[in-house]
């Protein structure tokens, strides 16, 4: 209320000069006297129903709000700290995981694949001549597949069969592969069977039972399912 | 004078069957004529469905070839399953191990005239 | 939990048509022309000593070929399509495959390659198709169609390259085919397809239709003119089948215990009934020629009262009439029979099994 | 539809299995499982009281594979088909402890595992808990327990199949119970996950696939189901066995040399990359070095990135 407006004049005194010349200016008594002015102002501006309740409240010396007042939101604790997490919708809007479809080339991701091979080699202690140990096979379930060259070996959607490329991204339900034609393809996991080769071992991945977020997969306990059929 | 009729249910089904016997070189105690063949079929039905159930399945032996013990049978369409399963579940004839082999089944007798699956192109 | 006492047999369709060749709306041309893969032709006629030579001549010389282990990728070679599929009617259907358990392929003369594949093959092949109409509830069979003669089906185009890749990478996609080719240009020899395939190192053998002829003496033949055909059409078709299966009703009927089958009445004794059967691979053109010859023959003096022509289709062909899907359940019948009369009228039977659409 | 299969050709000492296989080939089967039947995998001592005492180990016969020459299968080759032989192990489940024995390598070496439970409790266990492919019954004798719908539906969900052996229907003594039991199985499974197999003791016991499909109609299957019982369901059963051999039904690893020629294309993209990589030696060794330091940190860092912004 620092800047007095037309309405808030009710609450302020008339300037001293005016007061002095009140009789010359023929100002009504009620103007000079604040309470009389207030009652006439209220009569003019407030709905009669509210006025009645106000009068009753006045008699009981209660405070009544004549206007709808929206309480001001208290600043959230996060804002106080200066950072907060995005909610799901905002996160979607930011789309920070979306690999841009235009600029991905196969060549630029070949080093990623080379890196991944090395990672796999050390993760599984691969030896070409020997069969993969059982625990190494279990480690495959929790491995990271970014950089793997996956091929769709069979699929319920025949158009996807034969799609091959380096994994750029893994989501809960899909892989995003960049193919040799520098195309970014999103392949659903649930309806496909994937293969890749590692040092003389052919690994077949039944996508139907692989529908997990990669982060969850690390800690997930896999259970045997009824069939590997699509 | 154009007329078109569509018959959705054929009255009979026809089967081309043969009787396979273990050690075919050894002769059977009786020569298997068409009467005996029919009897073997009826016996198979009676064994599975009893005297009454078996007798309710009327089978006609349209053609019988004694050489390879093959025959063309005719049966009412609603009895086809009964006859066929009775033949399938027969394993003995005159205390000899045997089996009825069903080569073709068709709702039309014409269908048995040619078997494109077994025809040898020369 | 009692066993059902009545069992329904699988549905089947027998279509009977009565019309005349001179009728403008008669569909006889399409019925013959749209039934592409015929494995046997039978001709039957009473009161003749032998089948007219004109009929024999139109069927016997037709030779056809069998190629073993043909990779499907050979069928979509541009060279092959340009030389044969576009320049004639190429009929090919896979041999020795059972359509209800495995894959079956056919090339229609319209230039369409039709594959009927099982679930395993469909999921690994990589070509879009649709679910077979006979296995709507559970996925068992799929039908894939490739238009060979489309202008866009040419090297460099995406669809062509994809199909080529799919066929050439799947090494198990090899089939035995029985095929024949009718060139548009009559001066080209139809055997050039065989030469083309054998030039690729494939084993191609040339085959000829085999003929079996049989004349029965003094047999009971139904009197077709006196027969109420609309009511007894099934009986007559059964009788024609009995003739085709060489069932001698007189002999078998001698014993009521064995068989209750009788020739439909009214019937009269004919001195002879001639029946001939050709087996092999016949084009619709050859069949149409047979029908025409029969019609001409019935117009000659001392002609027989009627003659019948029966055509059997391949049980394992993926299509029957008009490229419509065909399947095999207990049998894969797709048969049609013409009974031709001297006055150009005809009776037509079309019989299909349970896995077929109404012809 | 899948190939016609007979998942129960009994292997016996004194009868030639080859003869049975040839009969199956002749009749048009393409998948055949040779069944080794061992009554009891645990032989208890006469006292059999002390459970701690290790029970005698029973010799399990090795999976049988019959060598068929080109001439033998020539008949089939003409039809463009090939015969796939599988091995199957069947035992009577009369003690829960037998399952532990069955998990050992000599039994797990079989392609298909089947059990024949003797009590309702064991039937429940076979349906819901233990990893087998086929539950079979002594279908010629009266079933001593009631087939409850709950474990059966659980078994269907798990992909376990129920077997009906039709050769039991041949003898007049067992035919009545064969049909009654088969109807009970149909009633409780509604025709799902049912396979019909021969259980052939002799070559003459094998029946043609279409005959068997028709037999399915007799015991209450629908038209398409009865053909499934010898083709699609058998395929599902074999796939279920393959699932058992995979790692948690998610991954299976084979040696590259086992890869069939027609499946080579599935690893081609991978190979191309690998060959290019090995061609460029210097980059590889550099990458190798980078790995060793990167390895441990990598999955961790990925996880952090995935979890949130």
> Do A137 and A31 lie in a common domain?
no
- Is residue D154 located within the same domain as residue D232? yes
Model confidence at D25, pLDDT cuts 50, 70, 90, reads confident
pLDDT tier at C233, thresholds 50, 70, 90: confident
Which of A154, A157, A195 is best to mutate for the C interface (most C CBs within 10 A)? A154
A159 in contact with chain C, both atoms CB, cutoff 8 A: yes
pLDDT of residue D278: 63
Domain that holds residue B80: 12-109
Q: Considering the domain boundaries, does residue B68 fall inside one? A: yes
- List the domain range (segments joined by +) for residue C128: 63-208
* A5 pLDDT tier (thresholds 50, 70, 90): very low
**CB-closest option in C207, C259, C358 to B6:** C358
Which of D81, D200, D210, D211 is the mutation pick for testing B, counting most B CBs within 10 A?
Answer: D211
Q: Say which range, B39-48, C11-20, D276-285, has the weakest mean pLDDT.
A: D276-285
- pLDDT, residue D40, reads 76
User: pLDDT: is D271 or A2 the higher one?
Assistant: D271
Question: Is the minimum CB–CB distance between A230 and chain C shorter than 8 Å?
Answer: yes
CATH number (domain holding residue A182): 2.30.30.210
Q: Is residue C6 part of a domain?
A: no
Q: Is A228 on the interface with D (CB under 8 A)?
A: yes
Asked whether the predicted pLDDT for residue D297 surpasses 80, the reply is: no
CATH for B65: 3.30.70.3250
Q: Are residues C72 and C149 in the same domain?
A: yes
Mean pLDDT of chain B: 85
Q: Give the domain range for residue A62.
A: 16-82
D180-225, pLDDT tens digit by residue? 888 888 888 888 889 999 888 888 888 888 999 888 888 888 888 8
Q: For B33-65, write each residue's pLDDT tens digit.
A: 888 888 888 988 988 888 888 888 888 888 888
- pLDDT reading at A48 higher than 70: yes
Q: Is residue D136 part of a domain?
A: yes
Picking from C208, C239, C271, the residue at the C-terminal end of a domain is C208
Tell whether C223 and C317 lie within a shared domain.
yes
D119-168 residue pLDDT tens: 888 889 888 888 888 999 888 888 888 888 899 999 998 889 999 998 88
The token pair that represents A160 in the structure block? 């996807």
Mean pLDDT of chain C: 84
Query: Is the residue at A69 inside a domain?
Result: yes
Q: Are A162 and C127 in contact (CB < 8 Å)?
A: no
Residue B103 has pLDDT above 70, yes or no: yes
Lowest mean pLDDT among C167-181, C345-359, D38-52, D89-103: D38-52
Count of C-beta atoms within a 10 Å radius of residue C153: 18
At residue C310 the predicted structure's pLDDT band, cuts being 50, 70 and 90, is very high
A181-205 pLDDT, tens per residue?
A: 888 889 999 899 998 888 778 888 8
**pLDDT digits 0-9 by tens, A9-26:** 556 677 778 777 777 777
CA count, 13 A, side-chain hemisphere, A180: 11
Three-state secondary structure along chain A? CCCCCCHHHHHCCCCHHHHHCHHHHCCCHHHHCHHHHHHHHHHHHCCHHHHHHHHHHHHCCCCCCCCCCCCCCCCCHHHHHCCCCCCHHHHHHHCCCCCCCCCCCHHHHHHHHHHHHHHHHHHHCCCCCCCCCHHHHHHHHHCCCCCCEEEEEEECCHHHCCCEEEEEEECCCEEEEEECCCCEEEEECCCEEEEEEECCEEEEEEHHHCCCCHHHHHHCCCCCCCCCCC
Whether A27 shows a pLDDT value over 60: the answer reads: yes
Q: Which residues of A touch C129 (CB under 8 A)?
A: 158
Confidence category of residue D284, pLDDT binned at 50, 70, 90? very low
Q: Based on the fold, state whether residues C215 and C204 are members of the same structural domain.
A: no
pLDDT score, position C152: 87
* Whether D4 and C101 lie within 8 Å, measured CB to CB: yes
**In this predicted model, what pLDDT tens digit does every residue of A57-112 receive, in sequence order?**
777 777 766 666 667 776 655 555 566 788 888 877 777 766 666 677 888 888 88
ipTM: 0.80
Please name the residues in contact with D63: beta carbons below 8 A apart, sequence gap of 6 or more: D34, D36, D87, D89, D109, D110, D111
Q: What is the percent of chain D with per-residue pLDDT over 90, rounded to a whole number?
A: 2
Q: Is the pLDDT of residue D31 over 80?
A: yes
Choose between D306 and D276: higher pLDDT.
D276
| Count of CB atoms situated within 10 Å of the CB of C222 | 21
Q: What is the CATH number of the domain that holds D221?
A: 3.20.20.140
Joined together, the tokens standing for residue C177 give 């085919």
> What is the three-class DSSP state of C332?
coil
Subunits adjacent to chain C (3 or more Cβ pairs under 8 Å): A, B, D
- Range 100-139 of C in CB contact (< 8 A) with A: 122-129
Predicted confidence band of residue C249 (pLDDT cuts 50, 70, 90): low
The closest of D297, D285, D272, D291 to A106, measured between CA atoms, is: D272
Three-class SS of residue B115?
coil
Considering the domain boundaries, does residue C193 fall inside one?
yes
């Amino acid at each position: 209320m620092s800047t007095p407006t037309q309405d808030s004049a009710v609450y302020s005194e008339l300037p001293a000069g005016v007061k002095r010349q009140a009789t010359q200016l023929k100002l009504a008594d009620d103007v000079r006297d604040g309470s009389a002015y207030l009652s006439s102002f209220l009569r003019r501006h407030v709905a009669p129903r509210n006025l009645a309740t106000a009068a009753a409240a006045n008699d009981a010396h209660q405070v009544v709000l004549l206007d709808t007042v929206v309480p001001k939101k208290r600043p959230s604790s996060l804002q106080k700290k200066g950072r907060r997490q995005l909610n799901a919708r905002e996160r979607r809007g930011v789309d920070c995981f979306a690999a841009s479809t235009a600029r991905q080339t196969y060549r630029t991701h070949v080093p990623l694949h080379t890196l991944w091979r090395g990672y796999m080699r050390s993760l599984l202690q691969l030896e070409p001549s020997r069969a993969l140990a059982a625990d190494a096979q279990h480690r495959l379930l929790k491995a990271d597949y970014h950089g793997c060259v996956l091929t769709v070996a069979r699929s319920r959607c025949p158009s996807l069969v034969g799609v091959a490329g380096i994994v750029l991204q893994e989501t809960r339900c899909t892989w995003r592969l960049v193919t040799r034609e520098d195309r970014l393809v999103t392949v659903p996991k649930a309806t496909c069977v994937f293969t890749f080769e590692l040092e003389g071992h052919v690994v077949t991945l039944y996508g139907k039972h692989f529908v997990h977020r990669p982060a969850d997969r690390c800690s997930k306990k896999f259970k045997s399912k009824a069939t590997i059929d699509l | 004078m154009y007329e078109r009729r569509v018959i959705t249910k054929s009255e009979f089904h026809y089967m081309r069957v043969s009787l396979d016997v273990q050690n075919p070189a050894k002769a059977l105690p009786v020569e298997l004529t068409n009467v005996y063949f029919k009897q073997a079929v009826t016996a198979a039905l009676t064994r599975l469905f009893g005297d009454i159930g078996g007798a309710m399945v009327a089978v006609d032996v349209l053609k019988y070839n004694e050489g390879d013990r093959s025959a063309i049978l005719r049966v009412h369409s609603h009895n086809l399953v009964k006859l066929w399963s009775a033949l399938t579940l027969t394993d003995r004839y005159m205390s000899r191990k045997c089996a009825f082999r069903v080569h073709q089944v068709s709702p039309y007798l014409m269908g048995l005239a040619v078997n494109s699956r077994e025809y040898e192109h020369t | 939990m009692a066993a059902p006492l009545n069992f329904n047999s699988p549905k089947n369709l027998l279509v009977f048509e009565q019309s005349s060749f001179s009728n403008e709306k008669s569909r006889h041309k399409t019925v013959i022309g749209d039934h592409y893969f015929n494995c046997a032709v039978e001709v039957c006629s009473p009161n003749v000593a032998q089948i007219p030579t004109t009929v024999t001549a139109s069927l016997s010389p037709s030779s056809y070929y069998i190629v073993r282990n043909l990779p499907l990728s050979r069928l979509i070679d541009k060279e092959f399509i340009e030389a044969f599929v576009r320049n004639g009617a190429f009929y090919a259907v896979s041999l020795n495959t059972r359509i209800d358990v495995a894959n079956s392929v056919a090339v229609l003369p319209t230039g369409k390659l039709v594959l009927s594949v099982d679930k395993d093959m469909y999921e690994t092949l990589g070509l879009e198709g649709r679910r077979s109409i006979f296995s709507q509830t559970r996925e068992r069979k799929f039908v894939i169609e490739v238009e060979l003669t489309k202008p866009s089906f040419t090297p460099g185009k995406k669809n062509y390259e994809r199909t080529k890749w799919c066929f050439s990478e799947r090494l198990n996609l090899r089939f035995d085919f029985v095929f024949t080719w009718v060139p548009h240009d009559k001066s080209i020899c139809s055997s050039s397809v065989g030469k083309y395939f054998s030039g690729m190192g494939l084993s191609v053998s040339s085959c000829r239709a085999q003929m079996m002829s049989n004349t029965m003496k003094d047999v009971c033949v139904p009197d077709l003119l006196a027969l109420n055909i609309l009511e007894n059409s099934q009986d007559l078709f059964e009788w024609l089948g009995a003739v085709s299966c060489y069932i001698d009703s007189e002999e078998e009927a001698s014993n009521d215990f064995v068989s209750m089958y009788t020739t439909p009445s009214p019937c009269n004794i004919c001195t002879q009934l001639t029946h001939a059967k050709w087996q092999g691979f016949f084009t619709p053109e050859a069949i149409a020629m047979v029908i025409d010859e029969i019609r001409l023959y019935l117009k000659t003096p001392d002609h027989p009262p009627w003659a019948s022509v029966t055509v059997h289709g391949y049980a394992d062909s993926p299509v029957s009439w008009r490229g419509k899907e065909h399947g095999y359940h207990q049998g894969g019948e797709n048969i049609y029979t013409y009974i031709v009369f001297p006055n150009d009228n005809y009776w037509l039977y079309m019989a299909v099994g349970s896995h077929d659409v109404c012809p | 539809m899948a190939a016609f299969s007979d998942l129960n050709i009994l292997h016996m000492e004194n009868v030639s299995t080859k003869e049975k296989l040839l009969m199956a080939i002749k009749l048009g089967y393409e998948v055949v499982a040779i069944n080794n039947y061992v009554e009891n995998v645990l032989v208890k001592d006469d006292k059999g009281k002390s459970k701690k005492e290790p029970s005698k180990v029973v010799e399990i016969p090795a999976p049988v594979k019959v060598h068929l020459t080109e001439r033998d299968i020539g008949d089939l080759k003409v039809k463009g088909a090939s015969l796939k032989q599988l091995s199957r192990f069947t035992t009577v489940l009369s003690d829960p402890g037998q399952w532990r024995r069955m998990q050992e390598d000599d039994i797990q070496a079989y392609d298909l595992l089947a059990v024949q439970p003797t009590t309702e409790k064991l039937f429940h266990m076979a349906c819901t808990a233990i990893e087998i492919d086929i539950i079979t019954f002594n279908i010629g004798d009266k079933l001593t327990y009631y087939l409850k719908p709950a474990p059966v539906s659980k078994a269907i969900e798990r992909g376990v199949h129920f077997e009906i052996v039709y050769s039991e229907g041949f003898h007049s003594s067992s035919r009545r119970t064969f049909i009654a039991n088969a109807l009970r199985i149909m009633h409780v499974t509604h025709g799902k996950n049912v396979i019909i197999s021969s259980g052939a003791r002799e070559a003459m016991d094998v029946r043609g696939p279409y005959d068997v499909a028709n037999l399915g109609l007799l015991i209450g299957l629908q038209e398409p189901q009865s053909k499934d019982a010898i083709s699609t369901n058998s395929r599902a059963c074999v796939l279920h066995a393959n699932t058992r051999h995979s790692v948690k039904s998610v991954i299976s690893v084979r040696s590259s040399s086992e890869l069939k020629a027609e499946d080579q294309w599935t690893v081609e993209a991978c190979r191309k990359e690998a060959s290019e990589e090995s061609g460029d030696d210097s980059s590889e060794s550099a990458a190798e070095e980078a790995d060793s330091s990167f390895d441990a940190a990598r999955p961790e860092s990925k996880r952090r990135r995935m979890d949130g912004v």
